[in-house]
Amino acid sequence: MDVLVQLILNGIMLGSMYAIISVGLTLIFGIVRVVNFAHGEFLMVGMYAVYLLSLHLGLHPYVSAVPMVLMLFAVGALVQRFIIQPLLGADEHIQIFATVGLSTALINLALLVFGADLYSVQAPGVRQPLSIGGYTVLYAQVVMLVSALVLVAGLHLFMQRTPLGRAIRATAQNRNAAQLMGVRVDRIYVIAFGLGAACVGLASALISPLFPVTPTIGTYFVLTAFVVVVLGGMRSMYGAFLGAMIIGIVDSLSGYYIAPDLKEVVYFAIFILILIFKPTGLFGFGRGTE
């Protein structure tokens, strides 16, 4: 029983990490209707930047969160403006290829610049264990969970309470109608893509103390994030959050009870089954495969 509770606790901590990445992916898909295959590479870029800031300026990764959010917002906005926007009218294939191409280019650029070596960021104190009622979590994991909750709550308030948030929701629901009401849809898309990428900027600062950065770290996380997004119904931030918790727990439990190297098999299997049998996601937040 103790083991099970500890595993679930670990799962929730892991889930909060996936949640931050997946909420960003969901924002981009839900609003711009583009699946960003380069999402993981944004994370990778952020993690290298955190590493460089820590190495050269001695910045603590958590301090880097602010510049990372701003930098990734800019990266996302630029990608939307100069790559996705010209392709909005094109075949879906072409859009997929564009983000896949971007992903390939970024992975290999990192390989070219940094090589295949692992780089760890020094972050004093954050890997210390914290004891809660006999169970152990890392300080960094608690920060992650709190950040994920604050992020979702903040985005919720932003979407519901601000004029810009309303314009974004309107655009997501019906692009043409929003345009007729005077919403500048292209600008909304740039902001939405930027926000989605900014989530990854936050994630890169929080993940850096826990995982060493490599050129392919993004692929590792983003495949999981795709599973989460599909589980959550593809367009719902809240669905993505819940989906992330589920995948975190599944990851933690199957790693222990089945085999550590088969945990991905378990959630990819869930992913395929959900895609095929319940394409609206587990909680019915989404609208399926169209």
Partner 1 sequence: MTVRVSLSEAPPAGRLAALMAWLGNPRVYTSLAALSLILVIPIVVDSPFIVHVFVTICVFAGLSTAWNIVGGYAGQLSLGHMVFYGIGAYTTALLIQHFGLTPWLGMWVGAVVSVAVSVFIGYPCFRLRGPFFALATIAFLEVVRLLAIHFHGFTGGSAGLIVPLKLGWTWMIFQDKINYLYIAFGLLLLTLAISYAIRSSRLGYYLTAVREREEAASAAGISNTGVKLKAVMISAALTSLFGSFHAMYLTFLEPETMFSLANSVSIAMFALIGGLGTVAGPLLGTVLVVPIAELARGWLGASANGLHGFVYGVVLVLITLTLPGGLAGTFGPRVTALIDRLPGRRVPPDREAPALRRMEGTPGEPVLETRDLVMKFGGLTATDHVSITLRRGEILGVIGPNGAGKTTVFNQISGFLKPTSGTVVIYDAEGRPVTPARADEYARLGVGRTFQIVQPFGKLTVIENIMIGAFMRHTSVDDARAAALRIARLVGLLHVKDVEARNLPIGDLKRLEVARTLATEPSILLLDEVMAGQNQTDTQKMVELIRTIRDTGVTVIAIEHNMQAIMSLSDRIVVIDSGKVIAEGDPQEVVRNRRVIEAYLGEDFVDAQGL
Instruction: Give min distance, CB of 286 to partner 1, in A.
Output: 11
Minimal distance in Å, beta carbon 59 to partner 1?
Answer: 27
What are the beta bridge partners of residue 130? Answer: 137
Q: How would you class 256 by CB atoms within 10 Å of its CB: exposed for 0-12, middle for 13-18, buried for 19 or more?
A: middle
218 contacts 40 by C-beta, under 8 angstroms: yes
CB closer to partner 1, 83 vs 143: 83
Q: What part of residues 82-101 is at the interface with partner 1 (CB under 8 A)?
A: 83, 86-87, 90-98, 100-101
Instruction: Looking at residues 220 to 249 of the shown chain, list those that interact with partner 1 (rule: CB under 8 A).
Output: 223, 226-227, 230
Residue where the block lists tokens 């990372």:
68
**Residue number with CB closer to partner 1 (230 or 250):** 230
Q: How far apart are CA 119 and CA 211, in angstroms?
A: 9
Q: What whole-number distance in Å separates Cα of residue 74 and Cα of residue 264?
A: 32
Stretch in the footprint of partner 1 (CB under 8 A) among 20-28, 44-52, 158-166, 261-269: 261-269
Among 6, 8, 35, 142, binds partner 1 (CB under 8 A): 35
Residue 149: how many CB atoms within 10 A of its CB? 13
Distance separating alpha carbons of residues 90 and 76, to the nearest angstrom = 20
Binding site for partner 1 (CB under 8 A): 35, 37, 83, 86-87, 90-98, 100-112, 115-116, 215, 219, 223, 226-227, 230, 259, 261-262, 264-265, 268-269, 271-272, 275-276, 279, 289-290
